[in-house]
Structure 1
Amino acid sequence: MALPLASAPREPVAVPAAVRALATDDDVTPVWRNQLGGLTFRLVGAAGTRYVKWVAHGTPELDLAAETARLAWAARYAVVPRVLGSGRDEDGAWLVTAALPGRSAVDPAWKARPDEAARAIGAGLRALHDSLPVDACPFSWSAQERADRLDAAARERLGPIPAVDRLVVCHGDACAPNTLVADDGAPAGHVDLGTLGVGDRWADLATASMSLGWNYAGDHEAAFFAAYGIAPDAERIAFYRHLWNLG
C-alpha cells in the first residue's frame, strides 16, 4: 500500500524568505509537508489567519498555478479556500489563501473520534460531488488521461478501465486531511484541490476510503461509505486505488 503523500512536519522547518516577507509581523507555523517538496505555513496576525503553500523550483508535480485556477472556479459552488495572492521568485513559488472555519479531519481531536471523522469525510465528499457542475468544469481527472501518463509497464499492470459509474467533478486528492470538519462533526470545506477535475466518482471514493487506514486506527470504511450514501464497489475501488498508487 502506498504511503500518504503528506504529513505534519516532525522536524524543524526552514521558513523560505518569501514566506517570511509575506508574514511581516505575523506568527509563522509550518503545518504540512508534502513528500514532493511542498510546504504549507499558517500565518496568524492582527488581520486574521492565512495559509501559504510554498514549493521549490524543480517540483513541477506541484503546480500552484493549476491549483489557483481550480480554487477560483470551485469557489463559485463549494466551500474552498479563497485565493489572496500568489507569486514566485528565484527560489520557488507560493499561493496565499484565507483560512476556512473547521479543522482538518486528521486533527488530533478527530483522530480520537475516527468514526465521526470518517462520516464527515464521506458526507463532505458527497456534498462536493453534488454541488460542482460537471458540464461547467473546464478541468479533467479522467482515468484514461491519468492512465495515458503512465509508462508502458505501469499501464499494462493497471489493466482495463472500468465503465464510468457516475461522472462528477472529483476533488482529485480526496485523502482524509483535505476535508475540514466543524466542531459539531459536519463537513466544513475542502482544501488542496490542485488536481480537481471531471472523472468517475470512484476515483475520489477509492482514494478517500484508502486514506482512512493511513490516518486512523481501526477500520472506518463502513462509516465513510454510509455517510456518502453508497455501497462499496470492489472492482472500481481496486482499480482506482491501483491507479492512485501507480501515479
Structure 2
Amino acid sequence: MSVPAEPVVVPDVVRRLARGERVVPVWANELGGLTFRLGPPSGGGRPAGRSPADEKPGDRPAGRLRYVKWHPRDIGPGVATVSEEAERLRWAAARTPVPRVLEHGRDDDGEWLVTEAIGARSAVDPRWLAAPETAVRAIGLALRALHDALPVADCPWTWSVEERVARVVPAKAGPDMLARLADAPDVVGPVVCHGDACAPNTLLHDDGTWAAHVDLGRLGVADPWADLSIAALSTVWNYGPGHEHLVYEAYGIDPDPDRIAYYRLLWDAT
C-alpha cells in the first residue's frame, strides 16, 4: 500500500459521499482498494485525481474531515470486507482509540466505509520518517496498549493460525512452506490482535505519543507475536534497518526468534 503517485479515478459513490466537498486520494493498495479524505477546501487537500504527496496533515482542521475506504467488488479473496471492518471498529471503539464509523454500504461497483478523521498523523508521515526512533517506540507502546485494552473473552473474532493456514493456496506456497506452516508454535498468552500492525496503521500525536489505530479489518484473537513480528518487520520497510528492537523494547518483551520467523512466514503465505 502507498500514497497514490498517479491520478486516481474517483468512484461515483465517493463523490456522492463528499457532498460537494474536496476529495483527496490518500492511499492505494495493489488490489485496487482506495482510501480518500473528504473535507472542505481549507483542509489543504488537492483536487480529486491528483497526488497528495506534498500535503501537511497537521494543518488540517479537526471535526469535519472524513475518510472513505473503497473496495472494488472483485478485490479478491482473503481481503476483509468493509462490513467486517465496521463491526470490528464499533466493537473496539468503546475500549481503545480507533476511528468512529459514520456509515458503510455497497453497490454494483464495490463497497465503502466512512469514518471520522482523527487529529493525528500516520507513523509514516514525513515528520515521523525523519524521526524513526520516536515513531517506532510509539508503535511498540501503541501495540502493547491495544493488546492490554481489548478483552479476549469478549472478542467475537479470531485470527488463528488454523484459519489463516486454511487460506494458503498449496500450488503457490509449495510443499516446503506448507510443511513449515504445519509446524506452528504453541500460542503464548493470546490477545486481541490488530491483524495488520504495520507502521502506517498507527497514528501519532505531534508530540510523538501514539494516538490511535486504523485498518482493523482482520482484528481477532491470536498469539501476540502474530502482530509483533509484522510490526517490527514493517519498520524495516518504512524506516530502514536497525529499528526492530525498539518495537520489542517499547512493548516490553524480549524477541522470540522462532515465533517471529513463523509468523512472518505465515504473513507471506497469506
1:244 paired residue number: 267
Aligned partner of 2:8 among 2, 5, 13: 13
Correspondence for 2:162 among 138, 144, 152: 144
Mapped contact 1:148–1:155 kept (Cα < 8 A): no
Structure 2 distance, partners of 1:70, 1:173, is 13
Name the residue aligned to 2:129.
Answer: 111
The number of aligned residues is 242
- Please say if residues 55 and 62 of structure 1, whose CA atoms lie closer than 8 Å, have aligned partners that are also in contact: no
* 1:34 matched to 2:26: no
Q: Who is 2:237 aligned against?
A: 214
Q: CA RMSD in A?
A: 1.3
CA deviation map 1:105-160 (0-9, x unaligned):
00000000011110010000000000000000000011122112223445324241
**In 1, are the aligned partners of 2:232 and 2:245 still within 8 Å (CA)?**
no
Amino acid at match of 2:67: Y
C-alpha distance in structure 2 between counterparts of 1:204 and 1:105, whole Å:
16
- The answer to which structure, 1 or 2, has the higher relative contact order (CA under 8 A, 6+ apart) is 1
Any residues of structure 2 matched to 1:74-223 within 5 Å, and which?
Answer: 74-152=92-170, 153=175, 154-223=177-246
- Amino acid corresponding to residue 70 of structure 1 in structure 2: R
Q: Secondary structure at the match of 1:86?
A: strand
Q: Do the aligned partners of 1:132 and 1:169 also contact (CA within 8 Å) in 2? A: yes
Helix, strand or coil for the counterpart of 1:195? coil
TM-score by length of 2: 0.87
Report the 3-state secondary structure (helix = DSSP H, G, I; strand = E; otherwise coil) of the residue aligned with 1:135: helix
The structural deviation recorded for 1:87 is 1.4
Unaligned runs of 5+ in 1: 1-5
Taking the aligned partners of 1:228 and 1:143, their CA distance within structure 2 comes to 22
2:248 to 207, 212, 225: 225
Mapped to 1, the partners of 2:21 and 2:262 lie a distance apart of: 45
Q: Which letter does structure 2 place at the counterpart of 1:10? A: A
Residue among 70, 86, 91 paired with 1:68: 86
- Which amino acid in 2 is paired with 1:37? G
SS class of match (1:7) = coil
Task: Determine the structure 2 residue equivalent to 1:57.
Answer: 73
The CA deviation string for residues 36-89 of structure 1, in whole angstroms up to 9 with x for no partner, is 211000011286100000011112424111101111111111101110001112
Give 1:239 deviation, angstroms. 0.2
Moved more, 52-61 or 143-152: 143-152
Q: TM-score, normalised by structure 1?
A: 0.95
Instruction: Flag structure 2 segments of 5+ consecutive residues without an equivalent.
Output: 43-62
User: Structure 1 residue 100: deviation in Å?
Assistant: 1.1
Consecutive aligned runs of 4 or more in structure 1 exceeding 4 Å deviation = none
Match of 1:3 in 2: none
The answer on whether the counterparts of 2:80 and 2:218 sit within 8 Å (CA) in structure 1 is no
